Structure 1
Amino acid sequence: MALLLAGGFEVGYALSVNGSAGFTDLGWSLVAIVFFLFTLFFLSVALKRIDVGIGYAVWAGIGAVGAAVLGPVFFDETLTVTKGIWLAVIIGGVVWLKLADSPALERRGHVERAGE
């Protein structure tokens, strides 16, 4: 749950940094700082129980996909079919990375190796 919150705050951070126009808009800049602090806090909480490689990949994937999908909603950005395909690749990679770290899959791998 902490990792999902960190990812959500990462999306908010990316969008608010964009809105801050290079930190020249005070309102957006303050929002960006708050989102930044929350994303780091929740990521650090999540990394107490999740390997850093998995946690960082999931966090970055949520941030990248969320910012790409919501950028056109809040700003004058585009989301093309090609971008959508590559976002799907990111999502698939994050899902497979998490599945590869699942205890059930690890047990199955140990059983298969033991039977060789």
Structure 2
Amino acid sequence: MTSPVGTTASSSRARAWLTLLLAGCFEIGYALCVGGSRGFTVLSWSLVAVVFFLLTLFALSMSLRTIDVGIGYAVWAGIGAVGAALLGPLFFDEPLTAAKAFWLAVIIAGVVWLKLADSPKRAGTTQ
């Protein structure tokens, strides 16, 4: 028994968004490793940064097969920026001020709105 076309399309979109989320996590890892590499002068951090870089580009490119480039890239960059900003204080003793936290919340809200904007249009609506 085959699944309806709508179900296949929605599961494909869901996989693309999960892959984009994974790409964002890899981007966080890349950003943190670049920070730890101190300008690519620490070999171990540098090698891990290269691995995360390749993983994030691969996962991003896979997700962009389904998700529009503008939305996918903005979400990916937002995940990476917010994740690195939130984890930077844990790994590198960077300050996280109330002002930074506020603007990170604005980025998160923007990412959520972009995801909602990419939701499939309802049948019967005009463009």
TM-score (norm. length: structure 2)? 0.82
Runs of at least 4 residues off by over 4 Å? none
Q: Distance in 2 between matches of 1:108 and 1:100?
A: 16
CA RMSD in angstroms, aligned pairs only: 1.6
Give the direction of change, closer, same or farther, for the CA distance of 1:109–1:28 in structure 2 (3 Å limit).
farther
- Inter-CA distance 41–74: structure 2 relative to 1 (3 Å threshold): same
How far residue 108 of structure 1 moved from its aligned partner, in angstroms, is: 8.2
Which residue of 1 is the match for residue 38 of structure 2? 21
Q: Does 1:98 align with 2:115?
A: yes
Equivalent-residue separation in structure 2 for 1:20 and 1:109 (angstroms): 53
Partner of 1:110: 125
Q: Match of 2:78, as an amino acid?
A: G
- The share of aligned pairs that are identical, in percent, is 74
C-alpha distance in 2 between matches for 1:88 and 1:21: 28
Q: Compute the displacement of 1:10 (Å).
A: 0.1
Deviation at 1:101, TM superposition (A): 1.7
* Partner deviation per Cα, 1:18-47 (whole Å, 9 max, x = no partner): 000000000000010000000000000100
The answer to whether the aligner puts 1:61 opposite 2:61 as a matched pair is no
Distance in 1 between residues matched to 2:33 and 2:123, nearest whole Å: 43
State the AA in 2 paired with 1:69: L
The corresponding residue for 1:86 is: 103
1:48 aligns with 2:65: yes
Deviation at 1:66, TM superposition (A): 0.1
Aligned residue number for residue 32 of structure 1: 49
Q: 1:109 to 1:32 in 2, by over 3 A?
A: farther
Report the Cα offset of residue 76 of structure 1. 1.8
- Unpaired runs of 5+ in structure 1? none
User: Displacement of 1:7 after TM fit?
Assistant: 0.2
